[in-house]
């Protein structure tokens, strides 16, 4: 059961910029090994923080413009938004606790 939302250029403003809770965006691609490695962590965190954190996934192959607007040059890239602004970000496959540390203080 998936707890994340698919973020696109069409729903970015509503789902991310206007979100009442912090948003963890995962910029990924299906062919990316490190993205697949952290995928289960992202899903677990989405479930654990449901209602307090929104988790969105951005497929860079389908949403190249959105990835480009965020300066994504390497994936996975994780960006945390709070109150419509970037609050934190990281690049690369991280352990679950490091991903959690990106947003835990913002909740």
Name the catalytic one among 23, 32, 67, 102: 32
Is residue 67 within 8 A of residue 27, CB to CB? The reply is yes
Assess whether 32 carries a catalytic annotation.
Answer: yes
Question: Which spans in the chain are helix H?
Answer: 12, 33-48, 64-69, 96-103
Name the catalytic one among 16, 35, 45, 53: 35
Assess whether 35 carries a catalytic annotation.
Answer: yes
Cα distances (angstroms) measured from residue 23 to each of 4, 5, 14, 31: 10, 10, 11, 24
> Which residues does the annotation mark as catalytic?
32, 35
């Amino acid at each position: 059961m998936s707890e994340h939302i698919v973020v696109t250029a069409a729903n970015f403003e509503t789902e991310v910029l206007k979100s009442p809770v912090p948003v963890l965006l995962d910029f990924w691609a299906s062919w990316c090994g490190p993205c697949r490695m952290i995928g289960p962590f992202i899903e677990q965190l989405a479930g654990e923080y449901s209602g307090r954190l929104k988790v969105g996934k951005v497929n860079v192959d389908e949403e190249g413009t959105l990835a480009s607007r965020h300066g994504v040059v390497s994936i996975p890239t994780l960006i945390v938004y709070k109150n419509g602004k970037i609050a934190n970000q990281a690049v690369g496959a991280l352990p679950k606790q490091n991903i959690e540390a990106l947003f835990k203080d913002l909740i």
